Chain A
Amino acid sequence: MELLKCVNINKSFGNKKILEDINLTVPRGKIIGLLGQNGTGKSTLIKIINDLLTATGGEVLVNGEKIGVESKKIISYLPERTYLDKSMTVDKVIEFFTDFYDNFDADKARRLLADLKLDTSLKLSKMSKGMQEKVQLVLVMSRKAELYILDEPLGGVDPATRDYILDTILSNFNEGASVIISTHLISDIERILDEVIFIDKGRIILHSDCDELRTKENASIDEIFRRMFRC
């Protein structure tokens, strides 16, 4: 059974088509880059998989079942925005995650937050946006999930933070799980990817193994992407 399968996903807002006939299969144990320029439908697809948007057509299957309580138990999702109740302290948020996610490892989260030298009795509203994003990443990666979906985790961060984020992802994702990372900053992450999906104007135009692609085109993923979408 495939971990994630999208069958003919379509999404439009009014007359505007955002996604068109997305067919996609994600196996276990892979790190997959969902690559595309801004506004090409990456986030829309991710939101549909996470039940935040309702597809106009087609269906999403997680472990063969439609999205719902079971899929949410095994998918750990990092949105591209800060989404926690900012009046909560970090301790409270940890409590919240412990309450709702059976697979949340609170000790691990505390350990990772201690590495950041973060005072967990602090309210989120008292922290910088960058720190809030790190807290979110730590929470998401502290779940023993089967599928991690990270939407633009590298958007607008400095190189040091970028290294921290990639490190945290690599060293914490559950063994045997898959990771989907959406980004338009390809050169930063291509070395950790197994597979890439190029998405443009709401369609998947390429889905390939990274190393095969490099060998075939004799170029980096970043370069191949640039060639395809030369503006």
Chain B
Amino acid sequence: MLGKLLKYDFKSILKTIVVFYILASFFAILTRVFFSIENSLVMNIIGQICQGAMISMMFSIIINTLMRSWVGFKQNLYGDESYLTHTLPVTKTALYISKVLSALVTLCLGVIVIVADLFIAYYSEEKIELIKNFILPIAENLEFSISFLIFLFILVVFVQISNIMQCGFTGIILGHRMNNAKIGFSVLYGFIVYMASQTLILAITFLVAVFNESFMNLFVTAEMVSLDVLKTALYMALISYAFILVIVYFINVKLFEKGVNVD
């Protein structure tokens, strides 16, 4: 049944996002075309405009994925459609998982589209060389390959966004549990949960720093920290975000399973 839920949830969220994928890719191609025409100021200006449009579309992809996942969550689980959703023969946990997974997959897709569009817009051998030369010393110091480092970086951003998304779900669930379906409260609760999760992460990091002197420098000095610390920080960020994601997941499922009060 989860598969079927996913199918519909994924379709419904993707339907609204796909237009941004197309627009971002469209402007990426235009950016490439206009920038490739040399020695023309006009073409360069048009290129700049297209580049601006492309970047704003890229932000739209992420922001709209988040907004859509929240709006969908609210409509589907608390609005008119909830009368169907909650009477389907599936568990509340499955309903929740489907919402999270479909949003995460869409987020993934969005990241892939953004990366691909960046390639379309800017790819050239020199530029790749340039980036390589910039990243290589860092990567070498960390004993990572360049692609792994980039992947790791994207992953950190990804889990960060996922956390924001899930905290939004918590906000909606709490907003409705308090018997006031006002959106303001949902946003407030979501924000509080998000701040709490950030504070928790900070606390974890600080706790580690207490036992790790070089790590402590992150907090107490303004000097350039050693790359070794950066490595620890990267892993720390990943692990603590994963930890928070799981905690919030369980909180949400628990709250959700206690039952709902739809509008």
List residues of chain A with CB under 8 Å of any chain B CB. 13-14, 47, 50-54, 68-70, 72-73, 75, 77, 79, 81-85, 96, 99-101
Query: In this assembly, does B155 line the interface, its C-beta being within 8 Å of a C-beta of chain A?
Result: no
Q: Which of B84-136 contact A (CB under 8 A)?
A: 84, 86-91
Interface string of B59-98 (1 = CB under 8 A from A): 0000000000000000000001111101111110000000
B260 touches A72 (CB 8 A): no
B260 touches A54 (CB 8 A): yes
Complex CA gap A72/B85 in Å reads 11
Contacts of A84 in B (CB 8 A): 81, 84
Contact residues on B (Cβ < 8 Å of other chain), bracket:
20 to 34
A52 touches B8 (CB 8 A): no
Complex CA gap A77/B86 in Å reads 11
Contacts of B91 in A (CB 8 A): 68-69
Question: How many A-B contacts are there with CB distance less than 8 Å?
Answer: 60
B89 touches A50 (CB 8 A): no
Interface string of B1-18 (1 = CB under 8 A from A): 100100010001000000
From A83, A96, A101, residue with most partner B Cβ within 10 Å: A83
Contacts of A72 in B (CB 8 A): 87-90
A85 touches B81 (CB 8 A): yes
Question: Nearest chain A CB to B123's CB is how many angstroms away?
Answer: 37
Contacts of A14 in B (CB 8 A): 179
B87 touches A53 (CB 8 A): no
Chain B residue at minimum C-beta to C-beta distance from A96: B8
Query: In this assembly, does B262 line the interface, its C-beta being within 8 Å of a C-beta of chain A?
Result: yes
From B90, B260, B261, residue with most partner A Cβ within 10 Å: B261
B87 touches A51 (CB 8 A): yes
B89 touches A73 (CB 8 A): yes
Contacts of A82 in B (CB 8 A): 80
**Prevailing SS type, chain B contact patch:** loop
A52 touches B82 (CB 8 A): yes
A50 touches B258 (CB 8 A): no
From A47, A52, A85, residue with most partner B Cβ within 10 Å: A52
B89 touches A47 (CB 8 A): no
A-B contact pairs, 24 of them (CB 8 A): A13-B179, A14-B179, A51-B86, A51-B259, A51-B260, A52-B82, A52-B83, A53-B260, A53-B261, A54-B258, A69-B89, A70-B89, A72-B89, A72-B90, A73-B89, A82-B80, A83-B80, A83-B83, A83-B84, A84-B84, A99-B4, A100-B1, A100-B4, A101-B88
Q: Known contacts A68-B91, A84-B81, A100-B1; decide if A52 and B12 are in contact (CB<8 Å).
A: no
Contacts of B81 in A (CB 8 A): 83-85
The answer, among A50, A81, A100, A101, for a CB contact under 8 Å with B86, is A50
A100 touches B89 (CB 8 A): yes
Contacts of B261 in A (CB 8 A): 52-54
Complex CA gap A54/B86 in Å reads 12
The answer, among B1, B4, B179, B262, for a CB contact under 8 Å with A52, is B262
From A50, A68, A84, A100, residue with most partner B Cβ within 10 Å: A100
Question: Nearest chain A CB to B76's CB is how many angstroms away?
Answer: 8
Chain B residue at minimum C-beta to C-beta distance from A100: B88
Complex CA gap A86/B81 in Å reads 9
The answer, among B4, B12, B80, B87, for a CB contact under 8 Å with A50, is B87
Chain A residue at minimum C-beta to C-beta distance from B80: A83
